[in-house]
Amino acid sequence: MYIRDLLAYRKSTDKQLSRYIKNILGFYPNNIVLYQLAFTHKSTISNNDKFKLSNERLEYLGDAVLEIAVADYLFHTYPTQQEGFLTEMRSRIVSRASLNKLSQKLGFDNYIRYNHDNSDNTGFKSLGGNTFEALMGAIYLDKGFEFTKKTIINRIIRIHIDLDQLEQTDVNFKSKLLEWGQKHKHHVDFRLINTSKENNRKFFHVQIFIDDEPYADSCDFSIKGAEQLSAEKTWNMLSE
């Protein structure tokens, strides 16, 4: 392929992705490279790649942005509900299962770049959910937090998530994890690693140990919330 053909192909794929973002989220990207990276799984990286670019860093950032945007929305949507209810609802909205379904519904499969033959990489069951978080990270870097929060609320939650139905759904990852441990004779331990203060509120850091081996950890403003978040992450690790 000649360089001019390669550049034309690159420009064409840029336009396709840009139009896709516009169709599902209602805006055109400013920096298309961020969105290309959001749809690039780590399995595409070869051992010879110097910079090892994938969507993992964006996933880390998007996870935090998504958590606080959903928390803010629920806080104002349910003004009389207690912390436990809000934590549970947030966990259900941002759960890996929920994000995986959302990614399928939005057609991510046609745009995610990953290597089917790369046996050194795991996590393909969460491919869509991880990409969704990375996409939120890309929007945050491209447009800022307030824009990203509005996009999550107006283009994701209000269109694709039925809060009434979600409220009736019973997903307790802590209970599922404890039941799994009992069934398979593994000792599951939820350990409070430390506490800190943020905006005059306690912040709890919980990590899960299975047979004294460390697994996922999470932080939240309640122990229950931190336990549920770390339990979900551990459950996803075990599922993969």
170 assigned to active site: no
Structure tokens at 88: 């549970």
**Catalytic position from the list 59, 63, 67, 142:** 63
**Distance between CA atoms of 104 and 36, rounded to whole angstroms?**
18
Does residue 169 sit in helix, strand or coil?
A: coil
Coil/strand/helix, residue 221: coil
Instruction: State phi, psi for 26 to the nearest 5 degrees.
Output: 85, 15
Closest of 105, 91, 96, 60 to residue 174, by C-alpha? 91
Is residue 213 among the annotated active site residues?
A: no
Among 59, 133, 227, 232, the one annotated catalytic: 133
Query: In this structure, what token pair is assigned to residue 44?
Result: 């595409």
Give me Rg for the CA atoms of the chain: 19
Question: What distance in Å separates the CA atoms of residue 120 and residue 78, rounded to the nearest whole number?
Answer: 44
Q: What residues are labeled active site?
A: 63, 133
